[in-house]
Amino acid sequence: MAKAKFENLDGVDYLLFNVNEEIGLMRLPVITKGTRHGTNAWTWNGSLDKPTLRPSIRTGYYNGKEMTEIHYWLNDGICQCLGDCKDGNAGKNIELLEMD
Protein backbone atom coordinates (compact mmCIF):
# COMPACT_ATOMS: atom_id res chain seq x y z
CA MET A 1 0.00 0.00 0.00
CA ALA A 2 1.12 3.53 -0.76
CA LYS A 3 1.78 6.37 1.69
CA ALA A 4 -0.06 8.91 -0.49
CA LYS A 5 -2.74 9.26 -3.15
CA PHE A 6 -2.88 11.53 -6.15
CA GLU A 7 -6.03 13.20 -7.44
CA ASN A 8 -6.95 15.85 -9.94
CA LEU A 9 -9.93 18.05 -9.15
CA ASP A 10 -11.06 20.63 -11.70
CA GLY A 11 -7.63 20.64 -13.35
CA VAL A 12 -5.62 21.01 -10.11
CA ASP A 13 -3.31 18.20 -8.95
CA TYR A 14 -3.42 17.25 -5.27
CA LEU A 15 -1.45 14.90 -3.05
CA LEU A 16 -3.35 13.29 -0.15
CA PHE A 17 -1.60 11.77 2.87
CA ASN A 18 -2.03 11.11 6.60
CA VAL A 19 0.68 12.26 9.00
CA ASN A 20 -1.06 10.45 11.88
CA GLU A 21 -4.58 9.81 13.22
CA GLU A 22 -4.63 13.03 15.25
CA ILE A 23 -3.75 15.39 12.39
CA GLY A 24 -5.82 13.53 9.83
CA LEU A 25 -5.93 13.74 6.05
CA MET A 26 -3.83 16.39 4.33
CA ARG A 27 -4.67 17.49 0.76
CA LEU A 28 -2.11 19.79 -0.80
CA PRO A 29 -1.91 21.20 -4.34
CA VAL A 30 1.23 19.92 -6.08
CA ILE A 31 3.28 20.28 -9.24
CA THR A 32 5.79 17.78 -10.61
CA LYS A 33 7.54 20.02 -13.12
CA GLY A 34 8.14 23.67 -13.82
CA THR A 35 8.28 26.47 -11.30
CA ARG A 36 5.93 26.84 -8.37
CA HIS A 37 6.15 30.64 -8.57
CA GLY A 38 2.62 32.03 -8.35
CA THR A 39 0.98 28.59 -8.06
CA ASN A 40 0.51 28.30 -4.26
CA ALA A 41 1.44 24.64 -4.78
CA TRP A 42 4.14 22.37 -3.40
CA THR A 43 6.79 20.76 -5.56
CA TRP A 44 6.33 16.97 -5.41
CA ASN A 45 8.81 14.24 -6.38
CA GLY A 46 6.01 12.14 -7.97
CA SER A 47 6.33 9.22 -5.53
CA LEU A 48 3.26 7.78 -3.78
CA ASP A 49 5.40 5.39 -1.69
CA LYS A 50 8.03 7.93 -0.53
CA PRO A 51 6.64 11.39 -1.24
CA THR A 52 8.82 14.47 -0.83
CA LEU A 53 7.32 17.97 -0.90
CA ARG A 54 8.89 21.42 -0.96
CA PRO A 55 8.65 23.85 0.77
CA SER A 56 7.99 22.83 4.37
CA ILE A 57 4.42 22.28 5.60
CA ARG A 58 2.90 24.17 8.52
CA THR A 59 -0.65 23.39 9.57
CA GLY A 60 -2.93 23.85 12.53
CA TYR A 61 -5.18 21.15 13.94
CA TYR A 62 -7.32 20.38 16.98
CA ASN A 63 -5.56 17.89 19.27
CA GLY A 64 -8.66 17.06 21.35
CA LYS A 65 -8.00 19.86 23.84
CA GLU A 66 -7.00 22.92 21.82
CA MET A 67 -5.80 24.18 18.46
CA THR A 68 -2.11 23.54 17.93
CA GLU A 69 0.40 23.60 15.08
CA ILE A 70 2.87 21.26 13.40
CA HIS A 71 5.65 22.31 11.02
CA TYR A 72 7.66 19.73 9.08
CA TRP A 73 9.62 18.78 6.00
CA LEU A 74 8.15 15.80 4.13
CA ASN A 75 11.15 13.75 2.92
CA ASP A 76 10.77 10.24 1.46
CA GLY A 77 7.48 9.64 3.31
CA ILE A 78 8.85 10.85 6.67
CA CYS A 79 7.67 14.03 8.40
CA GLN A 80 10.78 15.60 9.90
CA CYS A 81 9.26 17.89 12.53
CA LEU A 82 10.91 21.26 12.94
CA GLY A 83 11.85 22.98 16.20
CA ASP A 84 8.97 25.46 16.03
CA CYS A 85 6.23 22.79 16.29
CA LYS A 86 3.74 23.72 19.01
CA ASP A 87 2.21 20.24 19.31
CA GLY A 88 5.05 18.42 21.10
CA ASN A 89 6.50 16.83 17.95
CA ALA A 90 9.54 19.13 17.57
CA GLY A 91 12.59 17.09 16.57
CA LYS A 92 10.60 13.90 15.90
CA ASN A 93 10.37 11.89 12.69
CA ILE A 94 6.87 10.63 11.89
CA GLU A 95 6.33 8.07 9.13
CA LEU A 96 3.21 8.66 7.04
CA LEU A 97 0.35 6.22 7.55
CA GLU A 98 -0.52 3.79 4.75
CA MET A 99 -3.40 4.90 2.51
CA ASP A 100 -6.26 2.56 1.61
Concatenated DSSP letters for 10-42? TTEEEEEEES-TTT-EEEEEEESSS--TTT--E
pLDDT tens digit at each of 100 positions of the chain = 799 999 999 999 999 999 999 999 999 999 988 888 888 999 999 999 999 999 999 999 999 999 999 999 999 999 999 999 999 999 999 999 999 8
Residue 29: cis peptide before it, omega within 30 degrees of 0: no
Question: pTM of this prediction?
Answer: 0.92
